[in-house]
Amino acid sequence: MAELTHIAASGEAHMVDVGDKIETIRSATATGYVRMLPETLALIREGNAKKGDVIGTARLAGIMAAKKTSDLIPLCHPLMLTKVSVDIAEDDALPGLRVTATAKLSGKTGVEMEALTAVSVACLTIYDMAKAADKGMEVGGVRLLEKRGGKSGIFRAED
Amino acid sequence: MAELTHIAASGEAHMVDVGDKIETIRSATATGYVRMLPETLALIREGNAKKGDVIGTARLAGIMAAKKTSDLIPLCHPLMLTKVSVDIAEDDALPGLRVTATAKLSGKTGVEMEALTAVSVACLTIYDMAKAADKGMEVGGVRLLEKRGGKSGIFRAED
Amino acid sequence: MAELTHIAASGEAHMVDVGDKIETIRSATATGYVRMLPETLALIREGNAKKGDVIGTARLAGIMAAKKTSDLIPLCHPLMLTKVSVDIAEDDALPGLRVTATAKLSGKTGVEMEALTAVSVACLTIYDMAKAADKGMEVGGVRLLEKRGGKSGIFRAED
Amino acid sequence: MAELTHIAASGEAHMVDVGDKIETIRSATATGYVRMLPETLALIREGNAKKGDVIGTARLAGIMAAKKTSDLIPLCHPLMLTKVSVDIAEDDALPGLRVTATAKLSGKTGVEMEALTAVSVACLTIYDMAKAADKGMEVGGVRLLEKRGGKSGIFRAED
Amino acid sequence: MAELTHIAASGEAHMVDVGDKIETIRSATATGYVRMLPETLALIREGNAKKGDVIGTARLAGIMAAKKTSDLIPLCHPLMLTKVSVDIAEDDALPGLRVTATAKLSGKTGVEMEALTAVSVACLTIYDMAKAADKGMEVGGVRLLEKRGGKSGIFRAED
Amino acid sequence: MAELTHIAASGEAHMVDVGDKIETIRSATATGYVRMLPETLALIREGNAKKGDVIGTARLAGIMAAKKTSDLIPLCHPLMLTKVSVDIAEDDALPGLRVTATAKLSGKTGVEMEALTAVSVACLTIYDMAKAADKGMEVGGVRLLEKRGGKSGIFRAED
C-alpha cells in the first residue's frame, strides 16, 4: 500500500535512508508554464529575438536552482548531478512560455525534485523579469513528465 | 508603455537600481496549490491529524525559501524581510492543498518574488513528501494576490 | 602518537586528503541538550502536545544543518549523506530537551561533524523559539556517542 | 505572561513581524566552551604558539557562521550585522578552550542568535580540528551573557 | 599612518565595527580581463553573435556573485546592494574579454569587494565556458577603478 | 576542432552531461598573485610574523570557496572534493603575495575551476584585508598550472 516515506513510523519527518539502494543511472524530466498576457509574450519575444535575455536568464536560473535542491527541500538528499538542462519555448496558444527541465545522475536516489525545482525557479525568474509589464502572470502545470532508473523503473505521466 | 525593467537599454539583463526609490512598508501575498489524488490528500490529512508533518515541513520550507529569494532569482535584490508567513489549507474540491504566503519589509523594492518563492518551495516540498504515494501531483495557480507599498500603490489580482 | 590531522607539516590549516581512504558505510550519532526553566519546558510541551512546533521546527533545522556542514566547518569535506535523523525528547530531570542525531553515508570520511552540527543547530533553534520566555537557557553536553566505519572501526563514548 | 512568540495564535511556527519594532543599536554577547583532555589542549597550544591555526580557524568559522544565522535557524530574520567578533581563550582548569562572541547591528531585532551561532560553530570547528587526537571532547555552557538594545533593555546572565 | 583595519590591536582577524559610520550612497567600479588565444575569442564572438551565451552567462554569474560577497570574503559585512551591473567587452588587442562591474548601495560601508567579486567570478565563468578550447587563458588586471561615498570620498585609480 | 562544450548544438548554455565519463583520480593546480605597494607587503609581513592573519584568513577563504565553486560558476557540476590546499608566499620582486591552490577528487569531471576559484577568492580576501592601506592593489596571473586525470591526460602550462 502507498505510504509517505518521509514520515517515520512514529510520525516525525525524517530523511529516508537511501544507503542500501542500488546506484543506477537515474533521470527525470519535469515541465511547467508561465501564462501571461499576449502583449507580455510579445515584449519577451521581441527582447528575445534581439538579445535572448528573459529566456536566457530563466534557463540559467533553473540550472543553478537544480543544484540547490537539497538546500531548499528539507528532506532531499545532497546529490551529484551529472547533467541539468532547461528548455524554454514560446506558446502563443497559452499564451506564455513553457519550461521543460531534465536532471540526471548516477546515484542511489531519484532526481525528480531537481527537475521540478529547475522548472519552478525558471518560471519564477520569468515572472520576475516580466513583472513590471504584467503582475497577473500565473505559474502552473508544474509536474513530472518522466522518471527513469531505480527499483521502480520508468514512470511516464498520463496525458 | 509597459517595459521589461530588467532589460537594459542595450538589451542585457541587469539588476535595476533601486537606490532612489522611497523606503516604505511593502507587503505581498501570493498563492498556489498542489493538486493530488483524493487518496493522497487523505494520507496527508491522516498523518497531519496525528503529527502535522507534511504541512508543517512545507510551511517551514516556504518560510526559509523566502529568505533565499535573492540567491535563487538572478536579478532580485537582497532584502531584509521583517515577516514571512505561510498558510496551508486542505481543499477537498481540488483535491489537494492550497498554499498562501505573505512577505513584508520596510524597504525600497517590492517583495512579490519573496511571496511567490515561498509558495513555490512549499508546494515542491509537499510534492517531495507525498511523491512515494503519488507521482502525478501538479503544482499550479501560483500567482500574486495582493501587493502593497511603493510608488505603484496597491495591486489586487482580479478573480 | 596523537596528532592534529588538519595541521600540515608546516603548521598551516589544510583540508586532509581523503582520496586514498576506503569507501565504507560510515555512521555517527551525537547528542546534546538545552537546559531551561521548568516553566519553559511546560510551555513547549503544551505547544507541542497541540502542534509539535518547537520540536518539529528544531528537528527540521537540525536535518537541514547537517547538509550544510561542509559550508560551516572550514576544513570539512563535502559529503553525500544518505541519511540524517534527529530525535528530540523531553527530560523533566534536566529540565529541558535532549537532542540526538545520526548521520550516515557510504564514503571516504567520517560523518561525526554532520551529526554534531545537526545537534548544535537543533539546540540553537530550540533556544530561538523559546527565548521570548527564557533567555537563560543553556546548550550543553554536545558530544559524539558513537561512530562506525572506516579504518578506526567503532568508537563509543564512555559514560 | 511569558509566551513563545514564534508560535502563532493557531499554534503554527511563523516568523515574527518585526516591522513595527524600533531601529536601535543592538548587541549580544554569548559564550561556550570545548572541554578536552589536557594532552589535547597541549597539542593545540603548541600548534597555536607556532601557527595559531586551530584557534585562528575556529575564530573565522565563528565569524562567518554568524552571517549565516538566518539561513540556519528557520525563523530568524535576515540581518545586516555591523560587527562580529570571536575570542578564544585557553583554560587549563576546564581543561579546554572558552569561546566568547559578540554581534552588533542597528536594527529592529536582537542579535543573540547570531552571537550564539558564532560560539557554537567556533566550538564545532575546534572539535573538527582536534578530533583526530580526542573524540571525547564536549561542547557545553553555550549561553547568552549579555544583550543590549530594543524594548526589553539590558539582559545580563546571572552567574 | 596606514593600518590593516581587519587586524585587531591584539593581531587577530575581526570584522570591523561599522555601526558608527554614516549611511551614505556608496558605489564602486572594478575591472579585469581574461586573456585568451585569438581563436578562442573568435569562437566566443561567433557563439555570441548567434546566442550571446558565454558573455550572457558570465554577466549573470558576476551579478549573482556580488550578492554572495559576504559569504565568500570572511570579514565582509552583509550588505543590501541596490544595484549591480556587469559589462563585458571584446578586446582584439588583448586578445580577450574585458569585464567591468559596478555595485551600489546606501549604507555604512563601501562596496569595492562586491564589484571586485563580480569581476572575478565573471572572469572565472568565461574561463569555465571556454576552457574546452583553451586551457591557457589567464585572468588578470583585476583592480578597483573608482569608489565613491563614505568618509574617504572619491578614489580613482591612476592609470 | 576545438569547441565550446557548454554551448549546446542549438547555441544555448547547458551543463555538459558527464554521466558517461570515467571516474578517475583528478587534480588541478592553479596560481595567481596580488601585486601591492612594498609598504603594504611590509605591513602584512609584520602582522604575519606576529599573527599570520592576512595570509591565514586568505588561505581559509580560498579553501572554503573551492567548496562553493558549483554555486558560483553557473554550469559547473557539484563535486565531492577529497582535498583542497592553498599556499600563499611573499614575493618581494612582485611586490606582493603569490597564491597557489590544488584541488583533487575521484570523479567524472575535472577540478580546474575549483583550483582557480580558490586562488581568486584567496586573492580577493588579501585585497579586502589590506585595502585600508592600499586601494591600488591588483589581482593578476590567475591561470591553470597543471591538470591531471580524465581522458585528456596531463596538461601543464607553458611558461
Distance from CA of C82 to the nearest CA of A (A): 5
| Cβ within 8 Å, pair D56-E13 | yes
User: Which chain D residues contact residue B101 at CB under 8 A?
Assistant: none
Instruction: Please name the residues in contact with B119: beta carbons below 8 A apart, sequence gap of 6 or more.
Output: B30, B31, B32, B62, B86, B99, B100, B101, B142
Distance from CA of A40 to the nearest CA of E (A): 22
Catalytic hit among D17, D53, D128, D159: D128
Which has the closest alpha carbon to F13: F75, F79, F78?
F75
D10 falls in which pLDDT band (50, 70, 90)?
low
D8 falls in which pLDDT band (50, 70, 90)?
low
**H or E element in which residue F128 lies:** helix F112-130
Which segments of B2-153 does DSSP mark as H helices, in order?
38-50, 53-66, 69-72, 112-130
**Best C54, C57, C63, C128 residue to mutate vs chain B (most B CBs within 10 Å):** C57
A64 falls in which pLDDT band (50, 70, 90)?
very high
pLDDT at A103 over 60: yes
pLDDT at B96 over 60: yes
D70, three cell numbers: 538566518
Q: Do you know the residue count of chain C? A: 159
pLDDT at A54: 92
Residue D20 CA from chain centroid, whole number: 27
Which has the closest alpha carbon to A64: A117, A107, A124, A15?
A117
Which has the closest alpha carbon to D60: D34, D88, D30?
D88
pLDDT at B150: 82
Cite the active site residues of F.
128
The DSSP line for C34-86 is EE--HHHHHHHHHHHHHT-HHHHHHHHHHHHHHTTHHHHSTTPPP---SEEEE
Q: Which of A8, A74, A79 sits opposite C60 (nearest CB)?
A: A74
pLDDT at F48 over 60: no
pLDDT at A20 over 70: yes
- Report the b/e string of B46-56 with b at 16+ CB within 10 A: ebbeebbbbbb
pTM of the model: 0.95
Does C76 appear as a known binding residue?
Answer: yes
User: Which chain E residues contact residue B72 at CB under 8 A?
Assistant: none
Rg of chain B over all Cα atoms, to the nearest angstrom: 17
For C86, name the nearest residue in chain A, comparing CA atoms only: A14
- Placement of cell 548521520 in the chain: C103
For D139, what's the count of Cα atoms within 13 Å in the CB-facing half-sphere? Answer: 38
* Residue F151, Cβ density class (10 Å: 0-12 exposed, 13-18 middle, ≥19 buried): exposed
Mean pLDDT by runs of 10 across the 159 residues of chain C is 61 81 91 97 76 83 98 94 95 98 92 97 96 94 95 84
Give the domains, in start order, of chain B with CATH numbers.
24-150 (3.30.70.640)
Q: Which of A116-130, C40-54, E137-151, F20-34 has the lowest mean pLDDT?
A: C40-54
Sign of the torsion angle spanned by Cα atoms E7, E10, E15, E19:
negative
Instruction: Please name the residues in contact with F40: beta carbons below 8 A apart, sequence gap of 6 or more.
Output: E2, F130, F133, F134, F137
Q: Which of A74, A129, A140 sits opposite B125 (nearest CB)?
A: A74
Rg of chain D over all Cα atoms, to the nearest angstrom: 17
Q: How many CB atoms lie within 10 A of CB B100?
A: 20
Q: Is E127 helix (H, G, I), strand (E, B) or coil?
A: helix
Select the highest-mean-pLDDT range: A9-23, B37-51, B120-134, C6-20: B120-134
Q: For B103-112, what is the mean pLDDT?
A: 91
- Per the CB < 8 A criterion, the answer to whether E124 and F71 are in contact is no
The DSSP line for C121-159 is HHHHHHHHHHTTT-TT-EEEEEEEEEEE-STT--EE---
User: Which chain B residues contact residue C86 at CB under 8 A?
Assistant: none
| Cβ within 8 Å, pair C6-D32 | no
Tell me how many degrees the CA angle F19-F25-F27 measures, rounded to the nearest 5: 105
Q: Which of A68, A84, A106 sits opposite F15 (nearest CB)?
A: A84
pLDDT at A48: 53
Tally C–F CB contacts below 8 A. Answer: 49
Q: Which of A60-64, A103-107, C63-67, C96-100 has the lowest mean pLDDT?
A: A103-107
d(Cα C90, Cα B71) in Å, to the nearest integer? 37
Does C6 appear as a known binding residue?
Answer: no
pLDDT at D152 over 80: no
- Placement of cell 513528501 in the chain: B129
| Annotation marks residue D53 as catalytic | no
E2, three cell numbers: 596606514
Rg of chain F over all Cα atoms, to the nearest angstrom: 17
Q: For A147-156, what is the mean pLDDT?
A: 88
- Per the CB < 8 A criterion, the answer to whether A25 and A106 are in contact is yes
B16 falls in which pLDDT band (50, 70, 90)?
confident
Higher confidence at residue E52 or residue E125? E125
Does D76 appear as a known binding residue?
Answer: yes
d(Cα C120, Cα C61) in Å, to the nearest integer? 10
pLDDT at D52 over 80: no
Q: Is E53 helix (H, G, I), strand (E, B) or coil?
A: helix
d(Cα D66, Cα C76) in Å, to the nearest integer? 18
**What is the DSSP code (8-state) at residue F126?**
H
Q: For E15-28, what is the mean pLDDT?
A: 88
Distance from CA of F101 to the nearest CA of E (A): 15
pLDDT at D1: 40
pLDDT at A9 over 70: no
How large is the ipTM? 0.95
pLDDT at B152: 77
Q: Which of A13, A19, A70 sits opposite C59 (nearest CB)?
A: A13
| Cβ within 8 Å, pair F53-D57 | no
For E1, what's the count of Cα atoms within 13 Å in the CB-facing half-sphere? Answer: 4
Show which subunits contact B, needing at least 3 CB pairs below 8 angstroms: A, C, D, E
The chain E residues in contact with chain B (CB within 8 A) are 25, 56, 59-60, 63-64, 67-68, 78-87, 104-106
Distance from CA of F126 to the nearest CA of C (A): 17
Catalytic hit among E53, E71, E128, E159: E128
Does E77 appear as a known binding residue?
Answer: yes
User: Which chain C residues contact residue A79 at CB under 8 A?
Assistant: 80
Residue F155 has φ and ψ, to the nearest 5°, of -110, 135
Distance from CA of C121 to the nearest CA of B (A): 15
Q: Which of F5, F12, F116 sits opposite E124 (nearest CB)?
A: F116
Show which subunits contact A, needing at least 3 CB pairs below 8 angstroms: B, C, E, F
User: Which chain C residues contact residue F60 at CB under 8 A?
Assistant: 13, 74
B10 falls in which pLDDT band (50, 70, 90)?
low
pLDDT at D153: 82
pLDDT at F61: 97
